[in-house]
Amino acid sequence: MKKDAILNKVISVVSEKFKKEPSDISEETCFSFDLGADSLDMYDVAIDMEAEFGIKIVFDDFKNVENVSDVVSYIENKLNSKDN
């Protein structure tokens, strides 16, 4: 899956979760500062990303993401290392 496709899906999931317009979300959007996310919100985001992309997220790794770009990179790495 290409990075742009991953980004679009991540933006869709994040905008729905935080009740924002997709146009208000960018790669630079910070979860804590821009969206007011706490650790429980990030756990929910991880679960949503697992469902959307069919991957297993290790929350101890995922809890260090700060912005949408970090999520895209994390998912891109997981998809590239996934056994097909």
Q: What residue numbers bound the domain in which 19 lies? A: 3-81
| Spatial contact of 73 and 61, defined as CB atoms under 8 Å apart | no
pTM, 2 dp: 0.91
Give residue 62's pLDDT: 83
**Neighbouring-strand partners of residue 67:** 30
| Spatial contact of 78 and 35, defined as CB atoms under 8 Å apart | no
DSSP state of 25: -
Q: What phi and psi, each to the nearest 5 degrees, are found at residue 38?
A: -110, -175
Number of domains in the chain: 1
| Domain CATH for 26 | 1.10.1200.10
pLDDT mean for each 10 residues of the chain (84 residues): 95 97 97 95 95 93 91 94 59
**Neighbouring-strand partners of residue 30:** 67
